[in-house]
Amino acid sequence: MKANVGPKIVLIHRKTRLQELKARFNTIANAKFYVEHLGMSFDDFVHENDGYQEALQTAESHLSDHGRVHRLDRTFLPNFVFGPKDYVVVVGQDGLVANAMKYLSGQPIVGVNPDPKRWEGVLLPFKVDDLADLMPEVMERTRPIKRVSMAKVTLNTHQELVGVNDIFVGPRSHTSARYRITLADVSENHSSSGIIVSTGLGSTGWFRSVITGASGIAASFSGQPVKLPEQIAFPWDAPYLYFSVREPWPSQTSAATLTFGRVDNQSPLYLRSMMPQDGVIFSDGIESDFLEFNSGTEAVITLAEKSGALIV
């Protein structure tokens, strides 16, 4: 018999590609026509959706044996109030785990991979059927937890934003970002494509991509191979962040020497916008959830006070 009482378990999920297409084109038939018109196989969309829905149903069945299950679509995460004793289970991709983590206040997350053949799942150590034996251990607090450091940006307008993987500061579109950057006792004006500030968790993502591109350019100009050090990916719980400036432009009014460095609580990164419009700050690649960063706005980026907790 399924439990109707007991602890609340929040089951976080997201729409599949098929569901998003249906919402866009109103019917499955219209969605199929669109996909096949582009030369893609519609069967893959259907198989992905069917597998994900089955995984959600199985997960909910297992979880219902241990408490009250509340399904939550990712679109409602920014406005959902999590209780301090809630248990959180994410069924989806790595990005969904990171997205959920920044809205929590220390509640541990169980990351479940609904389709290991489709997704690698660095943050998804469990399969759906693991939940039956896993949840009692989670509730008894006998499972190990891996801590995840987060980044935080605070504006002089008192607005804040947290990033689990990274924080981007720059232009809304493909134009130049203009700002003044300060780290420790070094300051300079910049014109660039923006700044990426990465956590340890995000150091294998966008951050590594930027560093790889920069090393490739350096190798091309020097004629010598540039091998990336393994330590470019730093620990998930590291008490520091790294920033990298994208495509800095040196000119009579802008410098390009303060382009990479370490940020921590003793040495935050300070930025002051010099953009009259279209300056933005967003985290974890979610451009729709942004802070405006226009002329006169000042930002301080450092480690967040809270950290994430991933059940392993």
**pLDDT digit string (tens) for 149-164?**
999 999 999 999 999 9
Residues comprising the chain, all counted = 312
Q: Does 310 reside within a domain?
A: no
How large is the average pLDDT for residues 58-69? 96
Q: Are residues 189 and 290 in the same domain?
A: yes
Rounded Cα–Cα distance for residues 268 and 263 (Å): 5
| End residue of a domain, out of 105, 126, 143 | 143
Q: What is the pTM of this model?
A: 0.86
- Mention every residue, 6+ apart, whose C-beta is less than 8 A from residue 44: none
Does 3 score more than 60 pLDDT?
no
Question: Which residue's structure tokens are 């660039």?
Answer: 192
Number of domains the chain is built from:
2
How large is the average pLDDT for residues 88-103? 94
Does 73 score more than 50 pLDDT?
yes
Q: Are residues 19 and 44 in the same domain?
A: yes
Q: Does 3 reside within a domain?
A: no
How large is the average pLDDT for residues 228-239? 80
Instruction: Give residue 123's region: left, alpha or beta (phi > 0; psi -120 to 50).
Output: alpha
**What does the pLDDT read at residue 228?**
64
Q: Are residues 69 and 188 in the same domain?
A: no
Residue 278's domain comprises 149-304
What's the mean pLDDT when you consider all of the chain?
92
| End residue of a domain, out of 143, 174, 192 | 143
Q: Are residues 98 and 184 in the same domain?
A: no
| End residue of a domain, out of 143, 159, 177 | 143
What is the residue-wise DSSP string for 166-201?
EEEEEESSSS-EEEEEEETTEEEEEEESEEEEE-TG
Q: Are residues 153 and 298 in the same domain?
A: yes
Does 1 score more than 50 pLDDT?
no
**What does the pLDDT read at residue 64?**
96
Q: Does 174 reside within a domain?
A: yes
